Structure 1
């Protein structure tokens, strides 16, 4: 899916989720997890939420609202991207939903409490809002021509009444829906 080096992953799968674990070897060693969990059925297809973050060994889940700043972001993101084609090998009739943990109005409210960026939250400005989805959009925009050969991509608009539309590079979206072409 991309040509940036990636970490080797270990697959853990059951009927509730598909997880890929790997070790981030930046400034320190951190176990990370990429998780595909079913959250909606539509037209006979299961839509899986793509989650990513530090792995919590105590309960087998991910902590997706933390910034590790481990110095290996490109390799970590490449590892996330490399699981997409692997996921679709066994779930080719399903879809992947991508939305950052920082893409909700609740995030803005929580961020407002201890904002260190000098945002004008009262007027809708939050510099941390949508940072995670912007990373995915940047990758899709940069590789759109190649990606649409294998995938059908939709964007979820950031409006008062959000809608799902055909993905157009450079447009703003708060979520992305991806299907594998047959």
Structure 2
């Protein structure tokens, strides 16, 4: 499956174990990145975490690297999402930013590339109403502030 971010190049990545992928961001400096998937205990929902890989093996999801290669890093995370969902097709991937600003960034990316994502993924936005969290079909033109997203592979 081609990258939903059109022809954007992505970094090669490794999968050191089933739930973690790693790659190197090459910009102003080389920075190890990691994407980790963790089951939430609810339905088939799996949280997708992302950030800088620290020396102790933890992931810093608040790091602001400013390495000059954000598009390529994001294209790599999308490729990793594609790979993971091809191995676990029933998983619903939950994505949210570690800050409101990052969630807004993810919203902009999904809006920008929605026509590409829609071919292979079902995307739902998550909002909070007065009583509970609600899943809505993702509509790129809607002016909604989402708390996160659920992404599922179409089959």
Q: TM-score range by the shorter chain?
A: 0.7 to 0.9
Query: CA 1:146/1:30 → structure 2, altered by over 3 Å: closer, same or farther?
Result: closer
2:135 matches 1:164: yes
Deviation at 1:87, TM superposition (A): 0.7
**Residue of 125, 139, 147 corresponding to 1:155:** 125
DSSP 3-state at the match of 1:68:
coil
Computing the radius of gyration from Cα coordinates, the structure with the larger value is: 1
4+ runs of 1 displaced by more than 2 Å? 158-162
Aligned 8 A contact 1:158 1:172 in 2: no
Deviation at 1:27, TM superposition (A): 0.9
Aligned 8 A contact 2:97 2:106 in 1: no
The equivalent residue for 1:25 is 26
The equivalent residue for 1:139 is 109
The equivalent residue for 2:150 is 177
Using the alignment, how far apart are the partners of 2:103 and 2:41 within structure 1? 20
Using the alignment, how far apart are the partners of 1:55 and 1:29 within structure 2? 12
Deviation at 1:13, TM superposition (A): 1.8
Alpha-carbon deviations, 1:57-90, whole Å to 9, x = none? 31x2211011111111111111111111111111
Using the alignment, how far apart are the partners of 2:116 and 2:66 within structure 1? 30
Deviation at 1:99, TM superposition (A): 0.7
> How large is the Cα RMSD of the aligned pairs?
1.6
The equivalent residue for 1:67 is 64
Q: TM-score, normalised by structure 2?
A: 0.87
2:103 matches 1:101: no
Alpha-carbon deviations, 1:42-66, whole Å to 9, x = none? 1xxx2111111110231x2211011
Structure 1: 5+ residue stretches without partners = 103-129
Deviation at 1:159, TM superposition (A): 4.5
Deviation at 1:145, TM superposition (A): 2.5
Aligned residues: 148
The equivalent residue for 2:38 is 37
Alpha-carbon deviations, 1:145-177, whole Å to 9, x = none? 332222111101154443221111143211000
Higher RCO (Cα < 8 Å, 6 or more apart): 2
